[in-house]
Structure 1
Amino acid sequence: MSGAGRTGDGHGRAGRVLSGLAVAVGCVLFLGGFVWGALLYQPYTVPTDSMTPTIGQGARVLAERVGGDEVRRGDIVVFKDKAWGDAPMIKRVVGVGGDSVRCCDDRGRLTIGGKPVEEPYLPGGGPASPTEFSAEVPEGQLFLIGDHRMTSVDSRSRLTDASHGSVPREAVKGRVDATAWPMDGWGMMDRPESFAALPGGTSRPGPLPLVLAAVAGGAVLILGGAAYGPVATRLGPRRATGGSGGKRKEGTAERVR
């Protein structure tokens, strides 16, 4: 009865089936997670320090491929506009079409539609800008500023343009969801709470945690399923070797007599 349920190498057939299934499912999750991530996200390297301390110079970020119509205030976006040099740039959205963006109030804060906005990500806690400015954002446009307000070249320096320093929503190539490198700075991008109270609220984080969970879960299943065979062999019962030898000895004894 016990021999019918076991293979010749001592592994339970059920165990072998389950380990094979684990490897197969793991491969689907692992490879599927990579493909899913490649379709949804684009890596970018930040060339300047304009987004410090949120994102350092030379950092590698993952930007979710979204259209400009999905962007909200507080988002960090990658955009490309000929008026800005026709090269990918990374800035934070502080104003959308119809907004009146001004700086600064008596506490050094940015105001949007007359409402002050707290920006805890600013180096040293502010002020929101070393120079005062005021802008009306045209419909379909975005007003963009870097977090390092002392060095960032952004919408503030283009206020005399026809677009009042803003860029069209269609210029957006992606929304930064996480910092991928360096590893000690890895993490998801927070949505600033101060922007949530404004009309339209803030955007939702992308599915990056699910992508990473699929890849990690797939790797665990692959390794666990592949390790089952060697572990089962080492821990399983050893095959008896004395039965056939005993018969040979008995036959030899009979011939002697």
Structure 2
Amino acid sequence: MSGTGRTEDGRGRLGSMLSGLAVAVGCVLFLGGFAWAAVVYRPYTVPTESMTPTVNAGDRVLAQRVDGAEVRRGDVVVFTDPAWGDMPMVKRVVGIGGDKIACCEKDGRLTVNGIPIEEPYLQTAGLASSNDFTAKVPQGQLFLLGDDRRVSLDSRVHLEDRGQGSVPRSAVTARVDAVAWPLGSMIGRPRAFAALPGGVSSAGPLKLQLGAVVGGVVLILVGAGYGPVAARSGRSKRNKQGKVPAGVR
């Protein structure tokens, strides 16, 4: 009986150790994921409807802190520029230094260096702009458009400026990766720009960070629940083994 009791006690202690380990690892993942995201991402509130339907006015977005040199065509970026009002704005990069941007070709699409670009994210499907335009993007600059080309005050408005409506890469402070509220959706990289030199930017670490947070929560809940269950199971087995059969007295 004493040997069996020690075995059951050992199982109980093992269960408690596993429970504590799961909770500890879960806390590390949960807190680490949050801390990592806080360092890499910044929240912004989108001020206008110019990026509808990708993001709407009032949406809270998560934008990865990046250097302007990392920006690629197709990225949705946060930037500030005195010529645009010197307040944080959100637009999509459609051209980089050296690109020739033109609109619209016979099917209503935007062209970059003569290549038609499919833009499924546009509010007005099949029409890249309500007005025709051309621009040559200076080196070190970015050409930016909104996804709702009917209302967006973007590079087209500033075409007569010295930089052909573009802004310097240094004006970019972050790249939008997801809508946090109210949609809770990721913002992907458009495939159409991938065929152009330089391709598109790689995905940010947000999914990995969310995975760490969710995994941490699961481990904490499982670990916290397993300890008491294992302890009750051990006590139940000991109680059953300690009972004296009715016929033996």
Same fold (TM over 0.5): yes
Correspondence for 2:185: 187
Kept in 1: contact 2:102–2:133 (CA 8 A)? yes
Separation of aligned partners in 2, 1:143 and 1:23? 49
Q: Does 1:212 align with 2:210?
A: yes
Correspondence for 1:4: 6
Kept in 1: contact 2:59–2:179 (CA 8 A)? yes
May I ask how many residue pairs the two structures share in their alignment?
242
Separation of aligned partners in 2, 1:60 and 1:193? 25
Correspondence for 1:89: 89
RMSD after superposition: 2.0
Correspondence for 2:106: 106
Mark the runs of 5 or more structure 2 residues left unpaired by the alignment. Answer: none
Kept in 2: contact 1:79–1:173 (CA 8 A)? yes
Seen in structure 2, the aligned counterparts of structure 1 residues 110 and 12 have a Cα distance that, compared at 3 Å, is same
**Counterparts of residues 128-147 of structure 1 (less than 5 Å):** 128-147=128-147
Kept in 2: contact 1:73–1:95 (CA 8 A)? yes
Kept in 1: contact 2:63–2:175 (CA 8 A)? yes
Kept in 2: contact 1:103–1:111 (CA 8 A)? yes
Separation of aligned partners in 2, 1:126 and 1:86? 32
1:83-110 residue CA offsets vs partner (Å, 9 max, x unmatched): 2111110000000000010111111110
How far apart are residue 13 of structure 1 and its match? Answer: 1.1
Separation of aligned partners in 2, 1:218 and 1:34? 11
Letter aligned with residue 227 of structure 1: G
Mark the runs of 5 or more structure 1 residues left unpaired by the alignment. Answer: 251-257
Correspondence for 1:254: none
Kept in 2: contact 1:40–1:64 (CA 8 A)? yes
Separation of aligned partners in 1, 2:240 and 2:208? 52
Separation of aligned partners in 2, 1:236 and 1:85? 69
Seen in structure 2, the aligned counterparts of structure 1 residues 233 and 16 have a Cα distance that, compared at 3 Å, is closer
Kept in 2: contact 1:11–1:229 (CA 8 A)? no
Q: Greater Rg, structure 1 or structure 2?
A: 1
Larger mean CA deviation between 120-129 and 156-165 belongs to: 120-129
